[in-house]
Structure 1
């Protein structure tokens, strides 16, 4: 599989230029992409597809052999290809992301292989953007357009060079420095290392999400732009062409509830989640003491989502939320409809699969899940991002988690090394 090694480096320093724009240094995610691992991925995926087909025809999980269970554990069912950067589960992109990508120039296609600007944001390691001017492309740029309703960004990930193979990476030039602009104004210098890697740049929250503007109104507002300009390059062994495989994003505003969800306030009354304001006091549950306490809202969010779930309960009530929002079970375990994604994004040791028949903890007792349905339509959603203390609140009387700032994802097969 893709072996990843993280080196935690200095995350931010300040430049001494007259403009005083910040200089960012990344955390490094080494990529070991190779034909042998691609072949193994395809073999495992084919084996799992055969098992899934048998299970769809009535085979029960408890009847699987030990070897078949191992096969299922080896494959992330959300990954369609070995080259995928993110699977098809819910991610920051569930809430939006850039809607346009433009480039100052592009290298013409060679046969069936193209180097178009679309490749720089297709979440695929194999496809690349290549600038199209003579020389190393210094001064050429990529520009992203975001709707006002897009979720906010806390991390920018640059996959530098042609990472599909070691040979392609060395033969082509790579970026050494990118100058980043927001809405036409210089924001930062991104110092990239000369490594076949994904380079993670942590940033202060970027975005213009306004919770007082509804989805329809936000769609009519002008886009805001983010530009990445090539300042310096690492020369390739064979070609001057400078290559970037991917620039993509992570952030907040993506784990949410539908309008009308009732949040229990500190004084016991319930308030629709869309009416909450920073400074409001809500009721929070402390797992360590098994008691409730008052907590003050410090940050809120209200992105647009298109793929939600509706969870129905035995008392005929329901709650609609994103697939990876965490719920606390009656026996104290965190549950989610997309547990792998939830565990990656939230600081929980374990997250179990949320299924029909499970019992959730509520303020007044317990709730039995009787049905789970997908909701496939765009709608405004809401969540509490941060409280002054604690990480839980009550939504429709059920204990749920707040949305923390993202941490770097790490597969259980990978290692984290701090230097």
Structure 2
């Protein structure tokens, strides 16, 4: 991997940054988040400009680039406080899985819409009694003639109210062994017996979380994505981009907070001196900058490895990037609030309202404890602890 981006990547950064400045945090994102309204206008324009589908195949309306470029889009939007949670889900997870494993009909039906933002697909894997242990998923799919019948429930599923369908992770019975194995199904949100219930969250966010109930949901045979036997590969194809895009959003949020803190420290004068001249203010911000840049480098490494087809290297780097970006982002935001003093807790700056969103990165899409487990086991060859 190189440390100098191509002309096309730099131009993409510049174009996305301009869009993010128009739909910035203070004027657009925060007011809508306080009202619980999705960022529809930003999403639609990003789609029309081709930003949402940069990683999807050109033959289906995408940009033909990679996860690196999609992470670049997410980072630059988030650096203006306008990160899009559904970029992590719709083009990154679902678009990648369908692009790699979907049938020709599924690709034609979904990828053009995912690329231009006219269609949105949510992702349903988490369950109340499974959490980080996907092996304990109890949502099952059984055959009924040519159809599939899905039963089970999901929790913490983002953006279902904006989605046309949810890519559901279920389990089917392996008749050779009698054991359950994972399989992925496209479930349109208007399917009969598919019920969504909004969750009461205590954070300021424009996107909502849902509990899903699938009570014998009947699906046609072509709802199954790819091969019934390839679901584990399909999951990994989507989960690594999920971690990379989550890291990109956290890096961008950290950049936003750090820029706000530096601006305030340059302008705020006490005893005839800008507060940024004092090491007590300057050094913590400098430390935040260093840690954020280190996290960004690991995110870029993960994206580069993924796009090069190095699945194991990408998994290790993606987990590390997600961990590092979450920690750096929270530290940047906390220090930005501290730099502003009491003003950091006022609505005028909106920094305190970001705390919940920044804190999510430590928990989702995978907790930092599970990342530490992964690194201990796979990178350090330590005994498995769970």
Fold similarity call, TM over 0.5: no
Shorter-normalised TM range: under 0.3
TM-score relative to the length of structure 1 = 0.24
TM-score relative to the length of structure 2 = 0.26
Please tell me whether Structure 1 or Structure 2 has the larger radius of gyration of its CA atoms: 1
Greater fraction helix? 2
